[in-house]
Amino acid sequence: MAKNTWVLTDVDQDLYVDSISLSPRNVEGAATGYSVTKRTLRGGLRDGVDVVEVDNGTFRYVLIPTRGMGIWHARQGDITLGWRSPVKGPVHPSFVRLNEAGGIGWLDGFDEMLCRCGLESNGAPDFNDNGTLRWPQHGKIANQPAHRVEVAIDGDRGELSVTGTVDEARLFGNKMRLVSSYTTRVGQPGVTITDTITNLSALPGELELLYHTNFGRPWLVTGSKLALPFRRLAPRDQVAVGNVCRWDTYGPEEPEAGEAVFFIAPVGDADGRTRAVLTNPAADQGVSYHFNVNELPCFTLWKNREAVSDGYVTGIEPGINFPNRKSFEKTHGRVAVLAPGESRSFELTLEVHTTAQGVADALETVRRLQEGTEPEILNKPHPDWS
């Protein structure tokens, strides 16, 4: 079998590979036209950040093991996936002040296409009764470096995978491990993400998790649309109430308009499988985000309507909870508890559509998933959701 494995980082073995370039010449098998490259970025806030670029011949994505195994950006042909953050990243975690007093230091490092929010907490900052910070915005996992990174290439199947292990642990606190694998095949217009989170402690551990997946230009222009099959949708707050009649449609940049955020209960097929589809105004390009509602029952739609220079972007965000204060989510039963040694797994797939027919087929799938469920759109926040 023409399968090879390379360990790029293993802290336990004191192993670290600064750079490597892998291609068919390193692996037997019939598959061609692919590459996997690892390098370390230098200069500015990104100094010391490791990136792994995977190119399957048509789809290319860049992983950031230094930042919780997030995806920096991706590209399908001439279609770019990601956004223009005001932050010049990817930012090394040492420059991110997670515990600054206001609780929003996480934003100092935010510029990925995909980052995880969690694991102990996510959502808005939560404060103790005396005003000190208890849980910072969006948690810690996106700023935790992987302590083991491995690349596997199957030259017969043309399968490329990168697996990273990231621990979020402390003495007298939660001890969670994320093992994240990204898998694609030669010519596949996307990538599948498989995450397993395990409680390493001898005590029960709390878990919150949200996949903050972000798209800006060229996807996000006036007339871009989101399709998602759902049971109920509610605006998060009064700002979103003013946008609820256009929740699925994107308008122009509106400086000072504020974020419009919607909380959604998605529906899936008999096995829980569903997808969200973001399309351009012409509906001839799009991206599907496949996930399972049995694993990720909560969905957040974030519409940041600021100018491009200030971060014009949308967040397509499946999760196990809504990104409210953890104390609120705990009161409403959306904070998971993992027993000692217990694991929970999640699978998501990003798929790019480059033709009108591909977009039409994706939207038809959403229509079929919606059949049998009358969508409920609330015109005010739901008291159990925000």
Sketch the domain layout of the chain as residue ranges: 3-377
Q: How high is the pLDDT of residue 112? A: 97
Q: What is the pLDDT of residue 69?
A: 98
Helix %, strand %, coil % for the chain, to 5? 15, 45, 45
Do you find a cis peptide bond into 218, omega within 30 degrees of 0?
yes
CA 309 to chain centre: 22
- Return the H-helix or E-strand segment holding 115: strand 114-119
For residue 146, what pLDDT is reported?
98
Taking a C-beta distance cutoff of 8 angstroms, is the pair 267, 231 a contact? yes
Amino acid 1: pLDDT:
58
Residue 219's pLDDT is: 82
Pairing of strands 313-319, 59-64: unpaired
- Compute how many other C-beta atoms are within 10 angstroms of the C-beta atom of residue 37: 16
User: What's the rounded Cα separation, in Å, for the pair 106 and 99?
Assistant: 8
Helix (H) or strand (E) run with residue 356 in it: helix 356-370
Looking at residue 205, its pLDDT comes to 97
3-377 maps to CATH 2.70.98.10:
yes
Instruction: Going residue by residue through the chain, which has 386 residues, state the pLDDT in tens, using 9 for 90 and above.
Output: 589 999 999 999 999 999 999 999 999 999 999 999 999 999 999 999 999 999 999 999 999 999 999 999 999 998 999 999 999 999 999 999 999 989 999 999 999 999 999 999 999 999 999 999 999 999 999 999 999 999 999 999 999 999 999 999 999 999 999 999 999 999 999 999 999 999 999 999 999 999 999 999 888 999 999 999 999 999 999 999 999 999 999 999 999 888 999 999 999 999 999 999 999 999 999 999 999 999 999 999 999 999 999 999 999 999 999 999 999 999 999 999 999 999 999 999 999 999 999 999 999 999 999 999 999 999 999 999 99
Residue written as token pair 């009649």? 245
Structure tokens at 322: 């809504």
